[in-house]
Amino acid sequence: MSFSRQSKIEILKTPIEDDSQCLSFLSGLFHSCGEIGKSSSKLFVSIVSDIQELFPFVKQIIKKLYGERIEEEAIEKSELSKNTYYELRFDLEKFQQLFLDIGLIDFSDGVSFVFELDKNIIQDDDTRRTFIKGVYIGSSTSSIKFSEGAQKSETTGYHLEFVSKNHEFLLDFSSILANYNIFGKIFERKGDYVYYLKDVNAITDLLAIVGANESVLSLSNELATRELRNKINRQVNCINANINKTVEASMRQVEAINLINDTIGIDCLPEDLQEVALLRLANPEESLDELLKLSTIKLTRSGLNHRFRKILKIAKELGE
């Protein structure tokens, strides 16, 4: 199950009891994904979603507020994806009061969709939060993917977006989120407008606002896992780099000692250099620290390294 779907189902597990919050939730939901359609000469407003749990949730709210029955139809849009999408229809005439209450339809001059938000619906913190919740369920998608195992590297970033046909709606929505210090960007894509977040802290804050606490915890754990894995990878890379550096240095030293031995002989070296040369030949893969442990010579690491530099210099002169 995708992270986006999981978080939406989690949100829908908590019912909304307050009437004003019910209206703000429906306003966010319908403004973000509602569409006007026509069937048998009758106009209707529909919402389409692949979250089946959304529809009993909406039905319960409608029944609580208006006591009305809703026509429901399941449709499959295989041309869009392999998921089954469900459509919930609301007869425009029958639910006229609902659409007036949530500021969705203007009936003053025919029938027109209202994209500008009614500020009276979202006048306090609680109604703003439930409005955001409705928009999140109605139009949000994410590319957040969790690592399947500790050994698997997951390179997917953190991306959450809201898609709408109307630029004005997303501007109002972004202003609402700005009240919670959440700031995203809006751009146009294939005729739609997209408000997106790429900062993981902003995404986490938004999930907390809509009540997806389990998803917040999952995302925080994933972030910690990725940071730990990246730290381990950096440490491993550093260790590997040091090993490669040690091996390369040892190979140069062994080559230099062999060159000296083939030309003038190791016996011609000063006694202090003879000792470290023989020590290196006997232990070609060991680091300087390990050589010091194996040596009977009382030397510091810098002192041992200094003697090897002298051997390299002699070999270079002999080679020239």
Give the amino acid at 234: R
- Residue 285, helix vs strand vs coil: coil
- For tokens 């977040």, name the residue: 197
Within 8 A by CB and 6+ apart from 36, the residues are 43, 44, 45, 92, 105, 111, 113
Question: CA 72 to CA 251: how far, in whole Å?
Answer: 76
pLDDT at residue 78, rounded to an integer? 46
* Sign of the torsion angle spanned by Cα atoms 228, 230, 233, 235: negative
Tell me how far apart the alpha carbons of residues 223 and 247 are, in angstroms, rounded to a whole number.
36
Q: Are 25 and 104 in contact (CB under 8 A)?
A: no
**Amino acid symbol at 113:** F
- E strand map for the chain: 34-39, 42-49, 71-75, 85-91, 105-106, 112-113, 140-142, 160-164, 185-189, 192-197
- Which letter does DSSP use for residue 84 in this model? P
Residue with tokens 């639910």: 95
CB 313 within 8 A of CB 306: no
Report whether 16 contacts 22 (CB < 8 A).
Answer: yes
pLDDT in tens, the chain (320 residues): 688 888 999 999 999 999 999 999 999 999 998 888 887 778 888 888 888 899 899 989 998 888 877 665 555 554 455 677 888 888 888 888 899 999 888 887 778 888 788 888 998 999 999 999 999 999 898 877 665 543 444 445 688 899 988 888 999 999 999 999 999 999 999 888 999 998 888 988 999 999 888 887 887 777 777 777 778 888 888 888 877 888 888 888 888 888 888 888 888 888 888 888 888 888 887 888 888 887 777 778 888 888 888 888 888 888 77
Task: Determine the topology of domain 3-211 in CATH.
Answer: Endonuclease I-creI (3.10.28)
Alpha-carbon radius of gyration of the chain: 34
Report whether 174 contacts 195 (CB < 8 A). yes
pTM assigned to the model: 0.69
What is the separation of C-alpha 82 from the centre of its chain, rounded to a whole number of angstroms?
A: 24
- Pick the closest to residue 257 from 291, 283, 228 (CA basis): 283
- CA gap 155, 70 in Å, rounded: 44
Residue extents of the structural domains in the chain: 3-211, 242-319
What six digits make up the tokens of 197? 């977040």
